[in-house]
Amino acid sequence: MTKAEIKELVSKMTLEEKASLLSGKDAWSTVAIPRLNIPSINLSDGPHGLRQCIGLGWGDSVPATCFPPAALLACSFDEHLAKKQGAAIGEEAQAQNVQIVLGPGNNIKRSPLGGRNFEYFSEDPVLSGHIAAGVIEGIQSKKVGTALKHFACNSQESERFTIDEKIGERALREIYLASFEYPVKKAKPTSLMCSYNRVNGDYTSQSRWLLTDILRSEWGFKGFVMSDWGAVDCRPQAVYAGLELEMPGTGKENVRELTKAVKGEKLSVPPADKGFKGKLTEKQIDKAVTRLLEAVFSLHEKKTGKECDYEKHHKTAAEIAKECMVLLQNNGSALPIKGGKTAVIGEMAVRPRYQGGGSSNVKAINVTKPLDEMSKYGDTEYARGYSLDNDKDYSLITEAARVAGECDRAVIICGLPESYESEGYDRKHIDLPDSQLKLIDEVVRKQPETIIVLCNGAPVTMPFVGKVKAILEGYLGGEGSGEAIADLLYGKANPCGKLAETFPQFLENNPSYGNFPGENGTVNYSEGIYVGYRWYEKHKITPLFPFGYGLSYTTFRYDGIELSKSDIGENDEIEVTVTLTNTGAVDGKEIVELYVRENDPVVSRPEKELKAFKKVFIKAGETEKVPMKLDRRAFAYWNEQAHDWKVSSGKFTILVGGSSDNCPLSAEVNVNAEADVKPLSLYTMIKELKTHPKGGAFIDRLCKITGEDFRDHIFAHTDNEWPLRCIVTMCGKGTLEDLVQIIGEINSEE
């Protein structure tokens, strides 16, 4: 249906009909108006597979493929792989008559305690944004819509419906909003879902600054905005702010509120925004309805009902998991496993932990068990070792240690029980259950050739680093994690994932410590832009494992770096080419990470920031050229005075390597930026006159009033950090009226 036809359709509706469309029919679908042939469309969780609920409630769901959750997918550093996963989810959505998939989730991992971290990609906005864009493009390539969520700053579960997050403008722009900006501009999601929380006092569901000024006016978003389930506070204000669809349906409650707002009647919930006076025009309702119907008709017309190949999708899920799991330690080349008998220890070997809890929980079709898959490749003996139902049960340790001692090696598959992390609450610590840690200690005493496989949705402490031979971080691997773990352990696949977040040695090291989850309804993001690796590097804190870190069964040598230009304007694009050699004996993939550092920043900036990355396959002994491009934003910071992105003139260092703490290649580029000239004011410091383009003109005119002898006096006999008003108040020269007039005249001149 064309925009003109939709506009005509809207003109035929009553006010009540329009208002009814702006709220869901029920928990999972939109309202239909049969008399006008307006259809209903279906929505479904979740980010890493469909959770289409059966009936109208929140219980059982239709079986679907459970793909690797976001925390693992991001470790691929591969936008194309994310697109592949998205496409498979899109195919299943078509088969299950789902028109909008509620995902991906794209919030920044501010703290390792975040209960929903398994559902989010990274601590870094560039990595988060690119992986999110891949998922969106994949789903939408199958003519299914997406809901990029949760906009914005949903970085904790504690008091998530009401918490007020106090965040500086620069941190918002460079970190928390930046992760959404790239996928909005590049992938053009069908919709965005707002978060529950408040940001600097305003609920995101009714923040016109977020939903209209930034999202639409600045970023050019053309879709519609829906609420998270139950996130709307004042419905008319949410429409005013730019939120079209409230979910789930609230019956006639908010239909009444919207009609009240149009008729000028008193609202049940008073507006919180001074810019909204409690009244809406019918044109504002029409605009919201039109935006929603454009998506509804488009997606309804693209329904295919085409069946999908779930068996193929299972294989895809397993292949993706193999590309993402991270080898953290491999002392003495303990991996891959070669011959002998392997003790497989841990209940997760037979009861896999492969996804997180909450709204993203998929009723998986075919979950494979690590023990079954490992037994296909070699001789194994199983011992339970610990209980997933009782983490205080130590009775299984002795038997597990005995089994381990009688085999050639032990593989302990352990991690966080489901009760430790889920939507709805945050973690209290980042430790594994004590029973699992004691199990590891006892097994290592009996079997020095011990390998750990971790299944967890977020970072954990690892007191066993260096005590065991190898550690494979499997995260939550989706339904094919059994195959992925076995293939990586036995060398059927070569590990190539890298950490998308920093693993701290201690909880106290992380940047949000002391300000998470807040108190008295407020949480202060006092670390500002220093999130994740930016914090650890700035404060010279050594993490357990750094951002971007991961090992392989082969080795890579970074041979050289070339820049297409060594001197650029701030709006120029530059290409960086890296020469990379696989120096090992097996084929493998390496993730090339490119960071940028400003050498002499005018504001506080991180030691370096990820600005580009590329995953490349290289055969053993071969060399490849890896090109990457940087644009203006790679060098820019958010200027809080100008409320805009600014680039400073000067030298920047481009660093390239295989992790944030290992960048062997570097090259300098000189950036010539347009001067950022602040207008003179009574509060300009005297020392600033020396470098300000209009400083000389100011002194010339001032001396016409004060006399020429003051020209030398102003710098030699005053405090250079005095504001200009002190020329009058401290030196007794001229009047404030004189200064204001001179400043006004100079600022107005070209």
> How many angstroms separate the CA atoms of 375 and 382, rounded?
10
Distance linking the first and last C-alpha atoms of the chain: 51
| Contact call for residues 141 and 80 (beta carbons, < 8 A) | no
Residue 414 backbone phi and psi in degrees, to 5: -140, 180
Checking DSSP bridges between strand 644-646 and strand 588-598, what pairing results, if any?
unpaired
- 402 CB-near residues (< 8 Å, 6+ apart): 383, 446
Task: Return the sign of the alpha-carbon dihedral for residues 561, 564, 566, 568.
Answer: negative
337: three-class secondary structure by DSSP: coil
> How many angstroms separate the CA atoms of 56 and 487, rounded?
40
- 133 CB-near residues (< 8 Å, 6+ apart): 79, 82, 182, 183, 186, 187
- For residue 130, which of 188, 57, 189, 183 has the smallest C-alpha distance? 183
Q: Residue 676 burial by CB count (10 A; 0-12/13-18/19+): exposed, middle or buried? A: middle
- Partners of 357 in beta bridges: 422
- For residue 241, which of 264, 265, 224, 263 has the smallest C-alpha distance? 224
Q: Is 228 a catalytic residue?
A: yes
- Tell me how far CA of residue 582 lies from CA of 100, 126, 270, 587, 619, in angstroms: 43, 26, 64, 8, 7
Catalytic residue among 45, 78, 228, 233: 228
What is the token pair recorded at 473?
């971080």
Q: Residue 532 burial by CB count (10 A; 0-12/13-18/19+): exposed, middle or buried? A: buried
Catalytic residue list: 228
